[in-house]
Structure 1
């Protein structure tokens, strides 16, 4: 009984510790980038993008699509988008790139490489539960999974092609549900770019406002992620209960 009672408290403590470490890592990254000699690198990248003119954001979007299909983590590209283009354009670039890339991965899994993706899915212990949950909840479960870090983003893109969900509900739900995480990393890139690539010294008030905005974005993302994890767990537990009842 004591172990059962302590379990929720331990889970909460583990979750809080994990997110505290993430926040500390973000702060450490910003501090390191502030003092490391990376100004020349940022200027070089900005000059290259500026040299592309109108094609700069388009090239970055295409790179994001290719990276998504090839299982390359897009975190660095997301940070670059925020640092070079700011919140609005940076979010648009990453949102379009990640959504189109996810859609292409879905189509590849469903029509072009189904056997290979199915073999990959067998090695994922979550896939069976996800498949059944999507069969029951459809796009709602996809939305919860996109908000949850339970399965890596690039893996989800291919796994959905094996499930019963239709293409457009999956793509539209993914686009909407991925926006909070997209905005968080673009904002981090924006703050990082402001720290190491600005042409003028920012005032303490500006740094405070940037920090408050980042922390608020992290807090909202953490809250939404926790809600999604709990809802997803409830969904899977309900399916397991039904399966147990049918077995008996």
Structure 2
């Protein structure tokens, strides 16, 4: 009669390993019910499988290739327009002449001119046509067309704001579609870019408002730069209201020029007009200047603080010996 063998510690170890494997397998099976398939596949693949790339179907390859060529085509067309505008501004100045002709047409057709102005400003914002010319022209033309300084300033400011806001959204969406994938590489290479990207992710509305308030930073450039950061679309759109002070000042300048010319030619209340314009300009310039100063100061502080946090995080931590 054979003796019944007592379980050894090795048998107990084997049994515990089996139970662990069984529980892991069960948990893995249960996880497939709640996790998306790509995540489940990455969890359940063996180390040997992880070393091999996932199989890609021909359809996926075609879709990726089509998406790549679409991005290249859109970027090429956009770059072509922007290059033409920049070169033309230094050579033939066809764009400037076209804007002058367009503003003259608006003066003769004020009703349809408001809608046309918004559409032209919309396109100009996308292709990097300087908005300052159109903004000054809006105040001048609308004041002359409607015969009132106040009406000209109001219509000019509203038209510029609508056209600029719509024109700023399109570059943002295009930039995010075309270039957002490259942000990770830039963030790893440049700590300043990483600091700005993370700061915009956390305080996007505040920082974008400060950027919009600063007249030194090109409006058109911000639209594309913001697209490749982590700022939310909602914060980006809400920050557009920050362009109103600068827009109002430029429109006022344009409207004042027209009003001053009319007063000089007519000889009516010229002194009063000059005083009102000068006082308005002084207060406007001071307000925009102070806003720009504090905005730039606050931006530098935010980026510097964030960059310092990132440098601390990247420093190797001392390990206990």
TM-score (norm 1): 0.72
Helix, strand or coil for the counterpart of 1:71? Answer: coil
- Picking from 88, 100, 103, the partner of 2:169 is 103
Q: CA deviation at 1:241?
A: 1.8
Which residue does the alignment assign to 2:119?
A: 62
1:177 aligns with 2:242: yes
Instruction: Tell me the residue number matched to 2:302.
Output: 235
Distance across 2 between alignment mates of 1:145 and 1:171: 13
Q: Are residue 153 (structure 1) and residue 210 (structure 2) matched? A: no
Q: How does 1:99-178 map to 2 (within 5 A)?
A: 99-111=165-177, 113-114=178-179, 127-149=193-215, 151-174=217-240, 176-178=241-243
Larger radius of gyration: 2
CA gap 1:72/1:46 in 2 versus in 1, 3 angstroms = closer
Task: Summarize the Cα distance change of 1:204–1:117 in structure 2 as closer, same or farther, 3 Å threshold.
Answer: farther
Partner of 1:164, secondary structure, is coil
Question: Take 1:69 and 1:117, find their aligned partners in 2: how far apart are those partners?
Answer: 21
Provide structure 2 residue ranges, at least 5 long, that are not aligned to the other structure.
Answer: 1-99, 143-151, 316-321
CA contact (8 A) 1:87 1:190 kept: yes
Does residue 246 of the first structure (1) align with residue 313 of the second (2)?
yes
> CA RMSD, aligned part only?
2.7
Unaligned runs of 5+ in 1: 1-42
More displaced stretch, 164-173 vs 195-204: 195-204
Runs of 4+ in 1 over 4 A off after TM superposition: 43-47, 115-118, 124-129
Larger relative contact order, structure 1 or 2 (CA cutoff 8 Å, min sep 6): 1
2:126–2:168 contact (8 Å) kept in structure 1 = yes
- Aligned-partner Cα distance in 2 for 1:223–1:166: 28
Which residue does the alignment assign to 1:216?
A: 283
| Post-superposition offset of 1:238 | 0.6
Aligned residues: 201
Q: Flag the 1:117–1:103 CA change in 2: closer, same or farther, 3 A.
A: farther
Q: Scaled by the length of structure 2, what TM-score is found?
A: 0.57
